[in-house]
Structure 1
Amino acid sequence: MTEVDPVLRALAHPLRLRMLSLMWPEPMSAAELARELDVSHALASQHLRRLDAAGLVELAEERMRRGGRERRYRTVHGSPLSDHGALLAETLTHTLRERAARRAPGAEAVTVDAELWVEPRVWQDFLTRLGALTAELHDAARPPHSSGTAPVGVSVMAFALEETAPARTDDEDLR
């Protein structure tokens, strides 16, 4: 039996993907995540431990709070959210459904679904620009409910497809 990659397992739950997003701009504790996600502290802790074991979060600080020690974690920037295929796509599908249900009425948005044939240089340029745009948005992220911010949802998967039929020649294109 083949062992499943622990990173893939950690990314396979929609709640853990949300946790990674929330901890991107600023470290958060299990208690803070529980409040933000409206789940129990125990459930938030369990998911946080799974993310930590997979190396997707790191301990950012420990501080004394109410007679105990509070551990705050942050998302490891550059976490491998790509290259995990169908399982991650299923998780993103769930996340997208949940976010779409919370979409602000009348809010400006971009929705795209496409299966296209483009030249490799066009594809590479697009991937580079898309990566830069998502990095820019991540860098601009602030902690949840920060003054002057608004929540937004972004789910992106862009990938090359396997060819399912033989390549066409220029002569066939002219017919």
Structure 2
Amino acid sequence: MSAAELARELDISHALASQHLRRLDAAGLVELAEERTRRGGRERRYRTVHGSPLSDRSEATPLLAETLAHALRERAGRRVDGSEGVTVDAELWVDPGIWQDVRRRLAELAAELHDAARPPRTPGTMPVGISVMAFPVEETTQARPGSGSGTT
């Protein structure tokens, strides 16, 4: 999105959207996707960076989890009644090789969906929500109900 598109989508000022995009760009979380001339001016369109440092740094995990939880609550409230989806929440014990394969495939699927994304409200598209956070967890000394059983 461009700063103007982002401002319209979030109902904020163009200046604020532009400032946020500059900061996200400086942090390596978005990148310039396209620059074009529009109405006599220069429009810069940005996209998020796949596998950005924030998404893979363990010290950022609690903050990222809180952000995802907030986004998920908001999006879940807008879910289309009766629509198909996939919901998974699990803490499982699996072979390390299986974990590596599944982690790779999840990353590939997320990248595929991300690459297919178009600007909001593009004719012929539909909005979808996706939140994925999968990682190894430390073993606890106490068993919790429903954890580790391999079924959820």
Shorter-normalised TM range: 0.7 to 0.9
Which residue of the partner structure matches residue 76 of structure 1? Answer: 49
Tell me by how many angstroms 1:62 deviates: 4.9
Normalising by the residue count of structure 2, what TM-score does the alignment of the two structures yield?
0.79
Q: Secondary structure at the match of 1:148?
A: coil
> Could you say which residue in structure 2 is the equivalent of 1:148?
124
Q: State the Cα deviation string for residues 121-151 of structure 1 (Å, max 9, x = none).
A: 2211211221121122122222211221110
Larger radius of gyration: 1
1:135 and 2:111 aligned: yes
Q: Which residue of 2 aligns with 1:50?
A: 23
Gaps of 5+ in 2: 143-152
Relative to 1, partners in 2 of residues 1:76 and 1:132: Cα closer, same or farther, differing over 3 Å?
closer
The number of aligned residues is 138
Q: 1:61 is aligned with what amino acid?
A: E
Which segment is superposed worse, 45-54 or 74-83?
74-83
Q: Structure 1's 131 and 39: CA in aligned 2 closer, same or farther, altered over 3 A?
A: same
TM-score (norm: length of structure 1): 0.70
Unaligned runs of at least 5 residues, structure 1: 1-27, 167-175
Contact 2:35-2:42 within 8 A present in 1 as well:
no
Identity %: 73
| Residues 1:86 and 2:86 aligned together | no
For the Cα contact (< 8 Å) 2:29–2:49, is it kept in 1?
Answer: yes
Larger RCO (CA under 8 A, 6+ residues apart) = 1
Superposed CA deviations along residues 80-109 of structure 1, whole A, max 9, x for unmatched, are 323231111111111111111111111111
Q: CA deviation at 1:64?
A: 5.0
**In the alignment, which of 114, 120, 124 is matched to residue 96 of structure 2?**
120
Q: Match of 2:125, SS?
A: coil
Tell me the C-alpha RMSD between the 2 structures.
Answer: 2.0
When residues 61 and 125 of structure 1 are mapped into structure 2, their CA distance, relative to the original with a 3 A threshold, is same
What does the per-residue CA deviation read over 1:18-48, in whole Å, with 9 as the maximum and x for residues that have no partner? xxxxxxxxxx221111112222223212211
Displacement over 6 Å in runs of 4+ = none
